[in-house]
Structure 1
Amino acid sequence: MKVQKLLKLLTQPNTLSSSDIPDLESLIKNYPYFYLAHALLAKVVYTQERDVEKHAVQRAATYAIDRTHLRMWLENKLVWSGVISAVGSKGMPEQSAAINNTNHLEDIAKQTIKKGTNAISRQQFRVIEHILNKPNLQWGTIESYEVPDALKNKDLSEQCTLVDDRFATETLAHIMVQQKKFKRAIEIYRCLIIKNPEKKAYLSSVIDELSHHLQ
């Protein structure tokens, strides 16, 4: 897919159609960690191909930095074109703007690929893809309770080394629990405590409960 076509789809998502699906799938195949491609594919199937919507939307949500924004965009409640449109409104020549946008998107793609090439990242994405392909997937629930005193003052920062923290999400932790990989799930929850200290009480209680499975 040419960069100018990609820019048009991003700034004018209403022009997306089923004919764009092969190009987007090819783009994802070549740049598997390029989130914008996943988001566009989710958008087109969300509006055009409802029978295959679930998998594409789940995959885009898994890679999304902010799932709320993704959902708003899918439902036409959020517009991404403002930033690019604002650049053009400052009087930048059209050709120069196109070149800058092209370079910017190429930089994004390269950075995305670079960030996703380490072994841990590839393994985590393979796990996510495998789980998303399972039919009738359901999450179990874990009830929270008072955090043990031993955990309240414990420094967990040095323990957040075994999981790439960019992919440490509650969804991934749930996947590990479903697969009974409790040690891995605990590592992810410890990373989440560092990233979200306001949720320390809840996450610590989850870790404590999961620890019982290791005894």
Structure 2
Amino acid sequence: MTATNLQQWISSPELLNKDTLYELRIALARYPYCQTLRLLYLKNLYLLHDDSFSSELRKAALYVGDRRALFYLIEGDKYVLRTETSAVGANQTLKLIDAFLSQSQTSGEVPPTSNHIEYTADYTSYLLKGDDNRTESPDVPKLHGHELIDNFIEKAKDQPLRIKPIEEDSPSEEVFPEVKDGESCFTETLAKIYIKQKKYAKALEIIRNLSIKNPEKNTYFADQIRFLEKLIINTKS
């Protein structure tokens, strides 16, 4: 292995194969504390789906100074840093709200463990990207309330929302059906329509009424009430 080979593997990890794995293993035996060699060796194992990848990953965590380097090395291709400098916060907030609303259309099945790991990895990478963006692009607007929304969505996985399907002729942005006491208009469906249209105060009023009418679900609705209250505060700040 030459210095030229090493530079090529660093710039083009897709060149790593069984032959490079052998060379990296020998070099790593001679220089066990070389972080670059260890990261390349780990990447090589990952690309070849080698059985020893898991054990080497745990070992690498002891030798690598910044564990974020491990994450970006293995999962970096799945994530692209944002380059837009305008409307980033607003667009991301809408995506997170859409994800929150989509929870109401899922079944009550508990997601498998592997999915939970993927969600955790995605959220971790999101935080890491947020740190990098703040360092490299100070002009990018800070996203208000993203942690609140993410936490609420994570809780919604364990307590899926059950609502009636939204009719095709859903209420418009300005016109909504009148709500009277004792009627079934105080539904989670209507609350989510208000959230979708950024009418958080009206959605909060509906959720509070649902909480009063369903005292056995106080804990469940309390999470939604706190979420909406904090979201209202963040949108005003």
TM-score bracket for this pair, using the shorter chain length: 0.3 to 0.5
Structure-2-length-normalised TM-score: 0.31
Say which structure is richer in helix. 1
Q: Which has the larger radius of gyration?
A: 2
Structure-1-length-normalised TM-score: 0.34
